Amino acid sequence: MSLREQFAGWKPRLWAGWRPNGLGEQKPNHYRDIARVAWANRAHPAYAYQVLTKGACDGCSLGVAGLHDWTIDGVHLCTTRLDLLELNTADAIDPLVLSDLGPLRSRTGGQLRALGRLGHPMRRRRGEAGFRRVSWDEALSVLAAGLRATTPERAALYLTSRGITNETYYVAAKASRALGIANIDSAARVCHAPSTVGLRQTVGVAATTCSLQDVIEAPLVVLWGSNPANNQPVFMKYLYLARKRGCRVVVVNPFLEPGLARYWVPSNVESALFGTKMCDLHVPVRPGGDVALANAVLQRLIARAAVDRAFVDAHTEGFDEVVTALSGQDTDHLLGLAGVDRPTLESFVDELTRAGGAIHVWSMGITQHRGAADTVRGIVNLALAQAAVGRDGVGLMPIRGHSGVQGGAEMGAYATALPGGLPVDAEHAAALAARWGFPVPGRPGLTAPEMVDAAGRGELDVLWMSGGNFLDVLPDPRAVEAALGRVPLRVHQDVVVTRQMFVDGDDVVLLPVATRYEQEGGGTETTTERRIVFSPEIPRRVGEARSEWRLFADVASRVRPELRPAFSWPDNADLRREIAEVVPLYAGIETLADTGDAVQWGGRHLAVGGVFPTPSGRGRFSSLEPAEPQVPDGSFVLSTRRGKQFNSMVHHQVDPFTGAGRDAVFMDAADASALGVDRGARVRLRSETGSLDCTVTLAHLPARTLQVHWPEGNALIAGGPDRREPQSKVPDYNAVVTVERLDPEPD
Ligand code: SF4
């Protein structure tokens, strides 16, 4: 943005205050953070600079090529990217450090990452004190032998999303199927799997229907259970630009996150100086109350004749059934379930009616619940009712937190999808088998939580993981640890050391891999707006780390040498040509070769003209029955929240937005008073799964609801099949807890 543009059209009514850069306020200090990161990367400043100026960010899913994106002029950079930078410039660990795990077991994930990069293949047999360095040949022979010795049903692959490229996901998906293994899953399972289910069933496609440009052009943005200020920081710059054009913002969340109330956009003079009010209406829905809220909103849109009947009649189905179902639901009862009062409901409906449609953005606050797929359908209902798809400034946006989750599922590294996001069934498997030249399993495999279930039952012989950390990511870490310990062979390939590597097993192998920037031939990611973005190779050798797409191909060829030709790409440009053939959606990926090269599948909008990629060509309304909460007297509903972190990687012990430490429990003042505790008091939370000692932080929350940081809060969250969203299998990261005071009573 030019200086002239910077100073044009300042809007004092949007200013958060008069203190320059919010001096003295509880807020992130972006400029200090940049200085801190520069210091942390001082060992390889030139390489860090190249990553920032040439690479596609390995943080969240907004997508950027170097320092520029496809949405705004000016610099696109945030502290999340800077915090991740250190992983890309660290040097290899001395292998001897891992020879005795005793001193390492008590270290946090952050302390283990600070050791440096995993640089050499390592192996640890049961009874050994630690890992010993082995050759690549030995490491891969162990893995290949393990895969040959078992049946495909007793083997599983899991890939997490940070930094993993589409090329790696594709080769992993192909290798897995070549070995007959249907059990392949990725991190999308624990975040947006319910969005995939809910969107596919209603609008026919599991992706954002609009583009980030539409955020800037939107009349209204509704943020459902989403905190982009923390998780996709540059989104706040888009929102700032949108608000200067008159966009209004509604936040639907139990807690009005401070970064969504006011935000200081560091790269804009006006916002950096005075901050920007970001929220016009806060709807403090109770955890799990979103379906009831969406139903109540739709009732009121219908009652006010604010539904776009022409669109509904011409382009949707199921609306009359929804009207009938809603007529049997009492609005006051719905509001009771949602925890929202009537004036707030009417204000929300006012906003939607005035705008004539919105961009509905949602995230983990919606998806990590037992009823998540229904909630997604409830949000889709509102969008369909207002024709808020397929045109500028409106849309459905399940905003992704990781640069790899959209592509992971679309490349078929997913238990419930083949490449192209196609369903896993006999017909699609046969078509893929014809293309690939080997049989492809025609049934869905184990999802990530189901892999752990199977491990716990002793039904898994090989667990092969690229990145990921089930110990931190899945509920009930004690049960996860016990389950992992029962797998005879675990193989962890990663760029750093994680705690799950230390879980005892008969045989544990560590494989060092290259980052996306070091990957041979570069690679692509798919952003939240469906843009396939190229990140060039920025050469660097760290120990013996290898490119993962080569690694998956190598293992498949070792286990099934007769299939070697199917895994012998001379370079990954050739691999991208194959992806373009197998996944027609990704046509154009084969042309990408440099920083800034990108192609957006589907174009700016999906469902243009009301034509949906569903069997009937229509968008589908859903009749939804809200769940009745089951909270015994004296108990609280606990949800998990994020601080300054990226996925389970905690970057700061104190959240700069809230000032809360990692052990905080967020509690409303009225609940705290009823419990006889105050800010700073120590309390013990107990659930059926475990307990967690916390420090009380006062926050304005719905009555009898609490929040603790994730992944620490996993100790309170129950695992098990009945605690998952039934179709997508995402764990429900909420619990019913009691609170016990640990401090002596105040005088
Ligand atoms: S907002 Fe997301 S894509 Fe952009 S720099 Fe930050 S982490 Fe990277």
- For atom 5 of ligand 1, the residue with the nearest CA is 77
Of how many residues is the chain composed? Answer: 747
Residue 266 Cα to ligand 1 middle (Å): 14
CB 80 near ligand 1, within 6 Å: yes
CB 81 near ligand 1, within 6 Å: yes
Residue 721 Cα to ligand 1 middle (Å): 34
pLDDT digits over 1-50, tens only? Answer: 555 656 668 889 999 988 888 888 888 888 888 888 778 777 789 999 99
Residue 58 Cα to ligand 1 middle (Å): 8
Q: Residue 4 has what pLDDT? A: 60
Distance of alpha carbon 520 from the chain centroid: 26
CB 57 near ligand 1, within 6 Å: yes
d(CA 381, CA 203): 10
Residue 15 Cα to ligand 1 middle (Å): 24
* 9-48 burial code (b ≥16 CB/10 A, e <16): eeeeebbbeeeebbeeeebbbbeebeeebeebbeebeebb
Please report where in the chains the tokens 């599991």 appear, as a residue.
206
Name 276's Cβ contacts closer than 8 Å, sequence gap at least 6: 14, 15, 16, 240, 243, 262, 263, 264, 265, 270
CB 484 near ligand 1, within 6 Å: no
Show the low-confidence residues of the chain (pLDDT under 50).
none
Q: Residue 41 has what pLDDT? A: 77
Looking from the CA of residue 234, the nearest atom of ligand 1 is 1
Looking from the CA of residue 58, the nearest atom of ligand 1 is 8
d(CA 600, CA 524): 12
d(CA 119, CA 127): 23
CB 232 near ligand 1, within 6 Å: yes
The candidate with the shortest Cα–Cα distance to 282, out of 259, 304, 249, 310, is: 249
Retrieve residue 252's tokens.
Answer: 């639907």
Residue 341 Cα to ligand 1 middle (Å): 36
CB 65 near ligand 1, within 6 Å: no
Residue 52 Cα to ligand 1 middle (Å): 11
Name 18's Cβ contacts closer than 8 Å, sequence gap at least 6: 274
Residue of 34, 53, 64, 240 with the most ligand 1 atoms within 8 Å of its CB, for mutation:
64
Residue by residue, DSSP assigns 469-498 as -HHHHSS-HHHHHHHHTT-SEEEEEESS--
Phi-psi group of 420: left, alpha or beta (phi > 0 → left; psi -120 to 50 → alpha; rest → beta): left
Q: Cite the DSSP H helix spans in 517-639.
A: 548-559, 572-582
Cα atoms in the 13 Å half-sphere on the side-chain side of 317: 12
Contact 260, 223 (CB under 8 A): yes
Looking from the CA of residue 60, the nearest atom of ligand 1 is 2
Q: Residue 173 has what pLDDT? A: 98
The candidate with the shortest Cα–Cα distance to 367, out of 580, 196, 542, is: 196
d(CA 685, CA 237): 37
| 215 phi and psi angles, rounded to 5 deg | -60, -45
Name 61's Cβ contacts closer than 8 Å, sequence gap at least 6: 232, 399, 400, 401, 402, 403, 405, 406, 527, 528
Q: Residue 747 has what pLDDT? A: 52
Looking from the CA of residue 84, the nearest atom of ligand 1 is 7
Residue 79 Cα to ligand 1 middle (Å): 8
Residue 82 Cα to ligand 1 middle (Å): 9
Q: Residue 145 has what pLDDT? A: 98
Residue 367 Cα to ligand 1 middle (Å): 21
d(CA 591, CA 601): 14
CB 203 near ligand 1, within 6 Å: no
Residue 455 Cα to ligand 1 middle (Å): 35
Alpha carbon dihedral 732, 738, 742, 746, in 10-degree steps, equals 120
Contact 156, 454 (CB under 8 A): yes
- For atom 2 of ligand 1, the residue with the nearest CA is 60
CB 602 near ligand 1, within 6 Å: no
Residue 210 Cα to ligand 1 middle (Å): 19
CB 228 near ligand 1, within 6 Å: no
Looking from the CA of residue 79, the nearest atom of ligand 1 is 6
Looking from the CA of residue 57, the nearest atom of ligand 1 is 8
CB 27 near ligand 1, within 6 Å: no
Name 326's Cβ contacts closer than 8 Å, sequence gap at least 6: 295, 298, 299, 302, 623
Residue 578 Cα to ligand 1 middle (Å): 29
Looking from the CA of residue 403, the nearest atom of ligand 1 is 3
Residue of 72, 76, 402, 406 with the most ligand 1 atoms within 8 Å of its CB, for mutation:
76
Residue of 57, 58, 75, 642 with the most ligand 1 atoms within 8 Å of its CB, for mutation:
57
CB 266 near ligand 1, within 6 Å: no
CB 78 near ligand 1, within 6 Å: yes
Looking from the CA of residue 62, the nearest atom of ligand 1 is 3
Looking from the CA of residue 527, the nearest atom of ligand 1 is 3
